[in-house]
Structure 1
Amino acid sequence: MSEEQHGHSRADVERFSDAEKPINAAVDADVVDFDGPDDPDKAMNWPPGKKAATLGMVTVMTLLSPIGSTISAAAAKDIMLHFNSTSNTLSAFVTTVYLLGWVCGPIVIAPLSELYGRAVLYKVCIVLFLLFNVACAVANSLASLIVFRLLAGIASSCPVTLGTGSIADMIPPERRAGVMGAYVIGAVLGPTIGPIAGGYLTPALGWRWAFWLMAILVAPPCLVVVLFMRESYPSVLLQRTAIRLRRETGNPRLRSALDTGRTTREFFRCTIFRPFKMLMMPIVFLLSLYTATVYSYLYLCFTTFPQVFSLQYGFGSGPSGLATLGLGVGSILGVLFCGGVSDKLSVYLAKKHGGEVKPEYRLPSIIIGGVCVPIGLFWYAWTAEKRLHWILPIIGTGYLGAGMIITYMAATLYLVDAYTVYAASVTASNTVFRCLCATFLPLAGPALYERLGVGWGTSLLGFVAVAFIPLPCFFYMYGERIRESKHSQAQFSAI
């Protein structure tokens, strides 16, 4: 049985640390392995309908998660009035504390998924997400609302953390970008839908109904996921088969081909720190820093749009929410571009350079996104500053949305292709860093605009985005050499 038949490529298997290398089933009769490369129990061999249903559930959860993150943005003013608070920082924090949950959640969710599987985490977390949104709706103090928002964010981080791992379980690399595009549409549309829904619902029914609406939206998918979500993680599938065969045969020596030999406590202790260890790897750190910076701009817009469009154009709560449509449309165009181009470009570059597909062939797309981001920021900055027609700054945010999603998708595809064995952990490390920045940078938004104005305040962010443009070019040229260096291999072995 070759390494490829375990669901990982030979290069992936070689990256396992010595303690985690899969056991060779060919030399041990007590090892339980998949029944050949075409075993129907492997998620990679599931029927198209079963794959589509599973990824559809993951995509819907991924859509609902960011809706929850921004639905309170337009209601922040009403929430502050209700709880007799005048703090602009707290007003922004009610929205961004949810992203702090996306920082905390992956730290535990990623290792738990590698131990117990993805399906059980999806089920537990969506139930908790429903309950904590109800808790937000009935919160009787600002402190309790912030705590429940944090807990809702932790629960909702599950599909964001595990979604790329589920795709890697079921979809081969040469078709992964297109499926990733469909999955990311949920993450793209969610942040845009939230402020629109909250902007119109809050004046009509009050701020609590923003959270009741979330609970109503989550309830049907929650029932479907609990009833129909199936496990796809190869390691857990083999472990379950080994347990069943031990019970049926009475042979206690049977074990999974992907069994690391560690106890549950040892495994969890190792994996819970893995996202942080991976974040210390130069490529993972720098790409995560880049995507974190760009992603935080998105939430800076969500938390400052009511202020900017109210002062500059006299927009009310509802129209200020509609201003996020530019980000949404731009993000969808970014998804279509990256989903349609990334796989084809990777195959083209592989043929041009000898036929081997390398993760670095995902990186040229980031250059396009990297150029779009500062264009969007400068466009939005000065059209809003000069109070030109309101459609112009919204068009500018379209470029920002496209650049953000292209950068995010291409960087995620690169990291998943480069570290497939630990797809959930590398996604978690990226998510933790990205959401940490998105939690706290927007808190500086009101003060930034008060001191520098919309024009120079946003331009400052644009200059930072310009400084990042050479990064994907550097990794395209030297990324493989860095990944295969002795230092990087030693770091990976220590994970």
Structure 2
Amino acid sequence: MEGSVEAPENREGSTTTYNEKETQPSEAGQEVETRTQDDKTGSVRDPYLVSWEGHDDTGCPRGLRKLTKWSITLIISAGAFNTTCASSIYTSTYEQIERDLNCSHELAIAGLSLYVMGLGIGPMFLAPLSEFYGRRPIYITSFACYILSLIPCAAANNITTLLVGRLLGGVAGSAFLSVAGGTVGDMFEKGELGLPMMVFTASPISGPAIGPLIGGFINQYTNWRWTWYVMIIWSVIQWALLCIVPETYNPVLLQRKAATIRRETGDDRYYAPYDRREDGILKTVLISCKRPFQLLAFEPMLLALCTFTALLLGILYIFFQAFAIIFRGTYGFTLSQLGLSFLGLFMGLTLGVLTDPLWRRAYDRLVERRDGQSIPEFRLVPGILGGVLVPIGIFWFGYTTYPSVHWIVPIIGSAVFGTGMLLVYSSVFAFLVDCYPLYAASAMAANSFTRSCFAAGFPLFSTQMYHTLGNQNATLILALLAVVMAPFPYIFFKHGEKLRKYSRYARS
């Protein structure tokens, strides 16, 4: 392999090659150096440091077959879809829960807010735990806990039991928002990462759009507990699929490779980079909890973009109450028909995914104009259009919700909003990972936390807002907030490179 050196004979008597220079960012934000060759003399400094011999090396995740990579991507994307679908499928149970558990409408809505808050809390400790144990154990363990959390929801005889189950379910299900994106990055090269990452990005956003559709049919024709029975059956099948997903986290795989070499050769000098790390689990978790807030405090670009994506998710969760008020109150929809009204959002999200080839070509042209050099700001191009489409879609939706206007018109407006939301999300996620490569996990955790705060808080006042201000004025406020945030992708596309020079965390 070009750019490699030969180490002493391995256990089979042949030679093992090691990469000339390879660095692996850790989840705690530290860079682990795995250089084995002196750049000036070409001499081997540490022949016992184990790394991949290239993508053809057995165990290297980027050497997996394309079909295997996509199968893994679709399985973890389905897991993200499942756990976020569970957030909104709950909104179809409000009427029956208020009656059967004798609680207020606001207390019933709290079950939605607590679940979403759990989705924001979980990544703080699940991401660093995946650094020590790998991604696969986190998937299997956390999703098993997620399934267990569905049981008290199905069997609840009081609202307290239901609310506790919802909070625990959100925490357990959040693994797919904090860890799964890393699995996709483990397997695909940077140049081919766009489409699989967009598919994964669409999954946790599509889940809330499909949840009311499924829940609407369940709760119109049977008892609300069947909502959870269906989720349990679905989740058990999903858990079985997760059990066949292999480990893809490079540092853990290299640890296993080094252990195998030591065992087969009897030579304890072979080691992987993570065998020499000094931070323990507690310190790593504390760093993981602290650094996202440091990034939000000291990185204006990250704060602005996280606030934009948080606002969009908050608006999406407001729509769960707004759609019920508008389509049941104005158009007389049944509960199942109300669920179908969310298909506009879903189709808009799907359309956003299908535009990926356009953005890939635009990205390639920008790189070509810069003589082959890529900068993080190029990732924001889809978000510029998305920032325009989002307020257009909200205005369209809000000002066509009159009885004299056919119901399909506001649904089309929600589709425009969905497309814009997907474009903003995919561009912001890609930008954060590219802009903060050593702190990508913390940047995504900061984004997840801010999004969850907005999504948990907005539904608590949405019903009162729409009843007090009316459908049009309430939606106008949301549209104006989106207008204020819309310029940020363009501003950072134009000036982000200059701003990064003053950053203590961003890639310079």
Give the TM-score, by structure 2 length: 0.89
1:454 to 446, 466, 471: 471
SS of match in other structure, 1:255: coil
Q: Secondary structure at the match of 1:21?
A: strand
1:262 corresponds to 2:296 = no
- For 1:439 and 1:368, locate their aligned partners in 2 and report how far apart those are by CA, in whole Å: 27
Aligned position for 2:8: none
1:410 aligns with 2:427: yes
Out of 203, 206, 231, the position equivalent to 2:220 is 203
Paired letter, 1:244: T
Seen in structure 2, the aligned counterparts of structure 1 residues 223 and 230 have a Cα distance that, compared at 3 Å, is same
Output one character per residue of 1:7-55: Cα deviation in whole Å (capped at 9) or x when no partner: 9987x869997x6332323321332222245434221121212212211
Which residue in the other structure is 1:50 paired with? 68
Q: Which amino acid aligns with 2:462?
A: G
> C-alpha distance in 1, partners of 2:115/2:27?
34
Aligned AA (1:269): L
Which of 246, 257, 274 aligns to 1:241? It is 257
Letter in 2 for 1:231: E
Rounded to whole Å, the distance in 2 between the matches of 1:44 and 1:393 is 44
Q: What SS is found at the alignment partner of 2:174?
A: helix
Aligned to 2:94: 76
Partner of 1:65: 83
> How far apart are residue 258 of structure 1 and its match?
5.0
* Shift in alpha-carbon separation, 1:480–1:468, aligned structure 2, 3 A: same
Structure 2 counterpart of 1:20: 31
Q: Which amino acid aligns with 2:36?
A: A
Higher normalized contact order (CA 8 Å, seq sep 6+, divided by chain length): 1
Asked if 2 retains the 8 angstrom alpha-carbon contact of 1:176 and 1:343, the reply is: no
Tell me by how many angstroms 1:95 deviates: 2.1
* C-alpha distance in structure 2 between counterparts of 1:456 and 1:260, whole Å: 59
CA offset digits 1:399-421 (Å, max 9, x no partner): 11111111111111111222344
Q: Name which one, 1 or 2, has greater alpha-carbon Rg.
A: 2
Matched letter for residue 494 of structure 2: M
Superposed CA RMSD in Å reads 2.5
Pair 1:166 & 2:177 matched: no
Query: 1:248-300: per-residue Cα shift (whole Å, max 9, x none)?
Result: 44444433135562142333333343333333322222111111101111111
Q: Among residues 35, 44, 47, which one is paired with 1:29 in the alignment?
A: 47
Query: Within 5 A, what are the aligned runs for 1:319-330?
Result: 319-330=337-348
CA contact (8 A) 2:149 2:166 kept: yes
Name the amino acid aligned to 1:416: V
Task: Output the CA distance in 1 between the equivalents of 2:57 and 2:360.
Answer: 26
| Matches of 1:155 and 1:16, distance apart in 2 | 21
Matches within 5 A, 1:335-354: 335-337=353-355, 339-354=356-371
Partner of 1:214, secondary structure, is: helix
8 A contact 2:345–2:415 mirrored in 1: yes
Query: What is the CA distance between 1:327 and its match in structure 2?
Result: 0.8
Aligned identity (percent) is 31
Q: C-alpha separation between the residues in 2 aligned to 1:320 and 1:428?
A: 33
Identify, as 1 or 2, the structure richer in helix. 1
Aligned residues: 483
Residue 223 of structure 1 corresponds to which residue in structure 2?
A: 240
Secondary structure of 1:388's partner?
coil
SS state of the match for residue 372, structure 2?
Answer: coil
CA distance in 2, matches of 1:323, 1:28: 62
- Aligned residue identity for 2:501: E
Q: Structure 1: how far apart are the matches of 2:364 and 2:20? A: 21
Question: Which blocks of at least 5 consecutive residues in structure 1 are unaligned?
Answer: none
8 Å contact kept, 1:32–1:255: yes
The answer for the alignment partner of 1:123 in structure 2 is: 140
TM-score (norm 1): 0.91
- Is this contact kept in 1: 2:201–2:425, CA < 8 A? no
**Does residue 389 of structure 2 align to residue 372 of structure 1?**
yes
Q: Which amino acid aligns with 2:97?
A: I
The AA in structure 2 aligned to 1:233 is Y
Deviation of 1:449 (Å): 0.8
Tell me the amino acid that sits aligned with residue 411 of structure 2.
Answer: I
Question: CA 1:271–1:16 in structure 2 vs 1: closer, same or farther (change >3 Å)?
Answer: closer
Post-superposition CA distance 1:44-73 (Å, at most 9, x none): 121212212211211111221121111111
Deviates more, 1:232-241 or 1:381-390: 381-390
Closer/same/farther in 2, CA of residues 28 and 270 from structure 1, 3 Å limit: farther
Can you give the 5+ residue segments of structure 2 that lack an aligned partner in the other structure?
5-17, 38-44
Counterpart of 2:120 (choices 94, 103, 109) is: 103
